[in-house]
Amino acid sequence: MYTMSELSPQRAAVLAFLRERVGQGAPPSLAEIAACFGFASRNAAQKHVQALAEAGLIELRSGQKRGIAIPGVEPDALLSLPVLGRVAAGLPIGPDIGLERQLRLDRGLFALRPDYLLQVQGDSMIDDGILDGDLVGVHRSSVARNGQIVVARVEDEITIKRLERSASGIRLLPRNPAHAPIVVAADADFAIEGIYCGLIRQG
């Protein structure tokens, strides 16, 4: 069995990365390990992971895409999430992105693990229970299913709405009859920034 001092610098760095991610409750996939260290393929990441497992420094759980565990490292029950700015539940507003503060929250509050929080401004999503001033958790993703609540960028402005894709194009739907849908023009600079995964209501 290897000790930490006997590992190559690169393998020790991979182990440190795994310990950090497992401690956060988010074991990485082979693709994420490869991307983090600039490996040409997942096979290179697999070799490092397998060697660490054979050395007894990590445990692999068969049949799980992210089945990496570290002996003695228990996942933190709390998430440390940055509050990055504001998101409009109404007309889109400028993203006002910039780290405002960091919050530690119970991961059980969210259906999907969020990467960051945004503060809602406006009332267009009240029928989905998303109110002005709420902090919404956002899971970074450039894709979403039809009907999901998404954080989207339209021409450098950020908004939270339900996604509707149809043969006629894309609309961002409010959940308040006082607000009209946002019709995304075919030539618009449009991107899905993330998927809504829960909220925190501030006292």
* Residue 184, pLDDT above cutoff 60: yes
**Mean pLDDT of all residues in the chain?**
86
Mean pLDDT of the region 43-51: 92
Mean pLDDT of the region 11-15: 89
Question: What are the E-state strand segments in 44-189?
Answer: 59-60, 68-69, 78-88, 101-106, 116-121, 135-140, 149-154, 157-166, 169-173, 182-184
pLDDT of residue 41: 87
User: Catalytic site residue 142?
Assistant: no
| Residue 85 or residue 3, greater confidence | 85
Q: Over the stretch 93-110, which tens digit does the pLDDT of each residue have?
A: 555 556 668 888 877 788
| Residue 197 or residue 85, greater confidence | 197
User: Catalytic site residue 141?
Assistant: no
First to last CA, the chain: 52
**Residue 115 DSSP SS3:** coil
Choice among 29, 161, 166, 168 that is catalytic: 161
Choice among 29, 124, 141, 168 that is catalytic: 124
pLDDT of residue 199: 92
Instruction: Please list the alpha-helical segments (H only) found in the chain.
Output: 9-23, 30-37, 42-54
d(CA 98, CA 85): 6
